[in-house]
Amino acid sequence: MEIYLDNCATTRVCDEAVQACIKAMTLDYGNPSSLHKKGMEAEEILRETRRTAAGILGCDANLLTITGSATESNNLAILGAAAAYPRAGKTIVTTSVEHASVTNAVRHLAENGYNIRFVNPRSDGNFHPQDFLDAVDEDTFLLSMMMVNNEIGTILPWQTVIPALRKKYPKLLIHMDAVQGFAKYPLNVKRLDLDLLSLSGHKIYAPKGVGMLYCKKGIRLKPIVFGGGQENGLRSGTQAVQLAAGLTEAMRLCQQNRAAFETHYQMLNARLRDKIAGMDRIFINSPENGAPHLLNISVIGVPSEIMLHFLESKGIFVSSGSACSKGAKSEVLKAYGFPEERIRSALRISFSKDNTLEDIDLLSEALIEGAARFRRMTGA
Amino acid sequence: MNELILIKYGEIALKGLNKGSFEDILLRNIRWRMRDMGHFKLRKAQSTIYLEPSDCDTFDFEEAIDRLTKIFGIASISRALVVEKTLAAVLREVCAYLELQLSMVRTFKVETRRSDKQFPMKSPEISAEVGGEILSHFPGIKVDVHNPELIVNVEIRDFGAYIHAGSIAGAGGMPVSSSGKAMILISGGLDSPVAAYMMAKRGLALEAIHFVSPPYTSDRALQKVETLCEKLVPYTGSIKFHCVPFTEIQEAIKEHCPEELFTVIMRRLMMKIATTICKESDIKALVTGESLAQVASQTLDALYCTDNSTDLVVLRPLIGMDKTEIIKIAYQIDTYETSILPYEDCCTVFTPRHPRTKPKLYFVEKAESGFDFAPLLEQAVRDTVCKTITL
């Protein structure tokens, strides 16, 4: 039995995407930069990827760059913008709950003379729009905020923050890391007037190794990788056509079923919340109004890793925070102000289109069994 | 151009009647470590091993020397030019062979060793001749006998004359397995790999024993310990790795013994299992990474209780070392970064809040006797999984 509930880390590639990858590797295997027909066919695959993403984001397909990951997209957005606007302000505003690829990119800029201001959630666990307005000033050249937090699922208040900042600081660059929300929840980059947006394929049933970056018309970026000048010079290196082909199919699937998938996540989420409500000292760390495709919980008295491996022994796969940090204590949960015993025992359960209510019920039973067994051992 | 590597041994040279067997072990260890380096010949004479590649042009001297620096029993290593055993030949070759080194320094001196006493000139005379030859080719440099930037070595030996620009320090110690075999208790922390390294240096071959407690410990923690063993293999040779399932024993200690004695009882039961496995293959010693007073289980009283659970020799090479000294060696042998990876290991999960720092053997034995651990220990030995970690 395998119950995979770590879909914020990565997802199983959907069959349509697998078929598209195989086709691109065996039939349309040309180099998209080649002049001949084989090359043009491969290039068409990339165009289709951009068109599909553009359809979801509500933008012009030419404004999308295909990258190797959302980490790369975030780096290109932040470092590329800083390099392109050397005379702009020297302050960057971001949040304390960003993915490491944003946090470490801005830290790198901090070493080169930029001031970094972190917006924190308030004690109620929510971000308040006013805190963003207070953090940004005339010297701020970039705001980078995520769409949905990857560890607890908070939906950040970009819907109010961005229009307000636009009005007050028309020159401010606004970047969004949309990895955990893209193709799951509605988002229109044009209406929101975003400058930069990063997305990833493997969180939405596409293969690992492909991401994209949206960059608004008129916004300049300097590349961070140099070479043959592919992707309008922004991202040199032969494009991974087969991964892009997979991404196209995955995006199509998510777009066609967006509402149904969201309802499905909501159903699973509600079931798990319901089950946990009746459990002894198991708390939900995710906010009530968070993104439904994940739920962060704490089984008080049982360190995350122990419960994770116990669940694993039953064929149930969850995460102890974000998979990218491989076991390190969560800085994000700390930023949200959770007490130590909640952080030590936090688990992230994240759903896919393929999970069932039965999966949730089996997880719930296992949580109860594990809690009883390990609390006895740890004396909690 | 005909080059070779001169491998000189230190401590073995001082041994008496056993010298020959130690040399053979060292030769065997070198041969094992070099087995994929292409064709070469090894011969020994005058406390030196001559490693002579069949084809000097394709032989990777740098890689070979790097590997040799990790083989215990070697005092120094030099890459040298082989020349005919005449002064004329030495003078003819020396400037061309060391041109690069000589062109980068301002001062030098020549040191000659003449172990072939049949050679007609004495060492100082040879040095003077060679020095003169070098000065005539490199007018910009001077001789400085006290503090030279470069020492040009000329060795007149039985098989020929050798020219080199100094030697690299070897790992020292005694050849692995010249002192027999021991079992290292390895946890995944900083200390045990360093302890393994230190005992291998004194000539012990090693097997390793590691205790896993899923789900309290993860596959990643096991993977980490295996990685540590892999990093040790260049120094220790292949390691037979015993992985002991320990979950039920830990849970039983937790349930049936006083919390403050948890760690000392756990250590004793680990020693008992290790002892049983050692006896199966006639291993006479256990090695641990304990350092006196580092943690509660490493006080003198705790060590007394631990030692009482085994009749094997317990070797604790780190017993008198500070953490900073241990970390220094961990960096040197490249185990530090792996050791500090943050996975739970079996020692951290159940750690009592207030462990007894001065446990009394009588009370520990009494606490243990409240539960029959023997069947669980036997089961653990039976379920132990073995594999060989090698290069």
A264 and A224 belong to one structural domain: no
A304 and A328 belong to one structural domain: yes
Pick the closest to residue B338 from B226, B239, B243 (CA basis): B226
Cβ neighbours for B345, distance < 8 A, ≥ 6 positions apart:
B187, B188, B189, B217, B221
Q: Which residues of A touch B215 (CB under 8 A)?
A: 306-310, 312-313
Q: Name residue A351's amino acid.
A: F
pTM tops 0.80: yes
The gap from C-alpha B116 to its chain's centroid, in whole angstroms, comes to 33
**C-alpha to C-alpha distance for B217 and B274, rounded to whole angstroms:** 19
- B221 CA: distance to closest CA in chain A (Å): 11
B243-270 residue pLDDT tens = 999 999 999 998 999 988 999 999 999 9
CB A306 to CB B251 under 8 A? no
**Residue B238, exposed/middle/buried by CB under 10 A (0-12, 13-18, 19+)?**
middle
A191 and A303 belong to one structural domain: no
Q: What 8-state DSSP symbol labels residue A6?
A: B
A106-154 residue pLDDT tens = 999 999 999 999 999 987 778 999 999 999 999 999 999 999 999 999 9
CA atoms within 13 A on the CB side of A212: 31
Is A147 in CB contact (< 8 Å) with chain B? no
Q: Which residues of B touch A309 (CB under 8 A)?
A: 214-218
What confidence category does residue B349 fall into, taking pLDDT thresholds of 50, 70 and 90? Answer: low
CB B218 to CB A309 under 8 A? yes
In DSSP notation, A100-149 reads: HHHHHHHHHHHTTT-EEEEE---TTS---HHHHHHH--TTEEEEEEESB-
**What pLDDT shows up at residue B46?**
81
In which order are the strands placed within the sheet that holds A140-146? Answer: A64-67, A211-215, A196-200, A173-177, A140-146, A91-95, A115-119
Map residue A163 onto helix, strand or coil.
helix
Nearest to B343 among A310, A312, A327 (CB): A327
CATH number at residue A61: 3.40.640.10
A255-295 residue pLDDT tens = 999 999 999 999 999 999 999 999 999 999 999 999 999 99
CA atoms within 13 A on the CB side of B279: 9
In DSSP notation, A17-45 reads: HHHHHHHHHHTS---TT-SSHHHHHHHHH
**What pLDDT shows up at residue B391?**
87
Task: Identify the residue with better confidence: B10 or A97.
Answer: A97
**C-alpha to C-alpha distance for B161 and B85, rounded to whole angstroms:** 5
Percent of chain B residues past pLDDT 90, beyond the cut: 78
**What pLDDT shows up at residue A329?**
63
A313-368 residue pLDDT tens = 999 999 986 544 445 567 788 888 888 889 989 999 999 999 999 999 999 999 99
Phi-psi region of B52 (alpha: psi -120 to 50; beta: other; left: phi over 0): beta
**What pLDDT shows up at residue A321?**
66
What CA–CA distances, in Å, run from A172 to A92, A216, A245?
10, 13, 34
Active site residue A324: yes
In which order are the strands placed within the sheet that holds A282-284? Answer: A282-284, A294-299, A346-350
A181 and A229 belong to one structural domain: yes
Average pLDDT over residues A177-195: 95
- Taken in order B137, B141, B142, B144, the sign of the CA dihedral is negative
Cβ neighbours for B11, distance < 8 A, ≥ 6 positions apart:
B73, B75, B172, B173, B174
A94 and A179 belong to one structural domain: yes
Residue written as token pair 């690992």: A208
Is A328 in CB contact (< 8 Å) with chain B? yes
**What pLDDT shows up at residue B345?**
56
Average pLDDT over residues B164-185: 95
CB A303 to CB B349 under 8 A? yes
CB A377 to CB B342 under 8 A? no
Give me chain A's average pLDDT, please. 94
**What pLDDT shows up at residue A324?**
45
Average pLDDT over residues B199-222: 93
Average pLDDT over residues A230-251: 97
Which option is the CATH number for B181-389: 2.60.40.10, 3.40.50.720, 3.65.10.10, 3.40.50.620?
Answer: 3.40.50.620
Q: Which residues of A touch B220 (CB under 8 A)?
A: 326-327
Read off the tokens for B342.
Answer: 């943050």
CATH 3.30.2130.30-classified regions of chain B: 3-172
A23 and A48 belong to one structural domain: yes
What H or E segment, with its residue span, contains residue B362?
helix B361-369
What H or E segment, with its residue span, contains residue B217?
none
A135 and A229 belong to one structural domain: yes
A274 and A246 belong to one structural domain: no
Q: Which residues of B touch A303 (CB under 8 A)?
A: 344, 349
Size of interface A-B (CB pairs under 8 A): 35
Q: Which residues pair with A199 in a beta bridge?
A: A212
Read off the tokens for B351.
Answer: 């750690």
**What residue of A is the nearest CA neighbor of B346?**
A306
**What pLDDT shows up at residue A377?**
82
A246 and A261 belong to one structural domain: no
Average pLDDT over residues B114-140: 93
The gap from C-alpha B247 to its chain's centroid, in whole angstroms, comes to 32
Read off the tokens for B177.
Answer: 């397995």
- Judge whether A301 and A279 are in contact, CB under 8 Å: no
Q: Which of A238, A255, A272 is the last residue of a domain?
A: A255
A100 and A151 belong to one structural domain: yes
CB A309 to CB B259 under 8 A? no
Map residue B77 onto helix, strand or coil.
strand
- Judge whether B110 and B91 are in contact, CB under 8 Å: no
- B227 CA: distance to closest CA in chain A (Å): 17
pLDDT at position B331 over 70: yes
CB A328 to CB B342 under 8 A? yes
Q: Which of A197, A223, A255 is the last residue of a domain?
A: A255
B282-326 residue pLDDT tens = 999 999 999 988 887 788 999 999 999 999 999 999 999 999 999
**C-alpha to C-alpha distance for A78 and A63, rounded to whole angstroms:** 16
What CA–CA distances, in Å, run from B191 to A100, B21, B222?
31, 32, 16
CB A303 to CB B254 under 8 A? no
Pick the closest to residue A252 from A29, A6, A11, A14 (CA basis): A14
Q: Which residues of A touch B217 (CB under 8 A)?
A: 309
Tally of domains within chain A: 2
Q: Where are the beta strands (DSSP E) in A107-263?
A: 115-119, 140-146, 173-177, 196-200, 211-215
A73-107 residue pLDDT tens = 999 999 999 999 999 999 999 999 999 999 999 99
Pick the closest to residue A317 from A264, A355, A373, A344 (CA basis): A355
Q: Which class would CATH give B3-172?
A: alpha beta
A217 and A107 belong to one structural domain: yes
B36-92 residue pLDDT tens = 999 999 998 888 999 999 999 999 999 999 999 999 999 999 999 999 999 999 999
Map residue B62 onto helix, strand or coil.
helix
Q: Which of A230, A255, A280 is the last residue of a domain?
A: A255
B18-36 residue pLDDT tens = 888 999 999 999 999 999 9
CATH 3.40.50.620-classified regions of chain B: 181-389
A197 and A319 belong to one structural domain: no
**What pLDDT shows up at residue A180?**
96
Give me chain B's average pLDDT, please. 92
- Judge whether A91 and A139 are in contact, CB under 8 Å: yes
**What pLDDT shows up at residue A331?**
76
- A243 CA: distance to closest CA in chain B (Å): 29
Q: Which residues pair with A348 in a beta bridge?
A: A296, A319
Residue A295: which domain range?
3-11+257-378
Q: Which residues pair with B77 in a beta bridge?
A: B7, B168
Map residue A238 onto helix, strand or coil.
coil
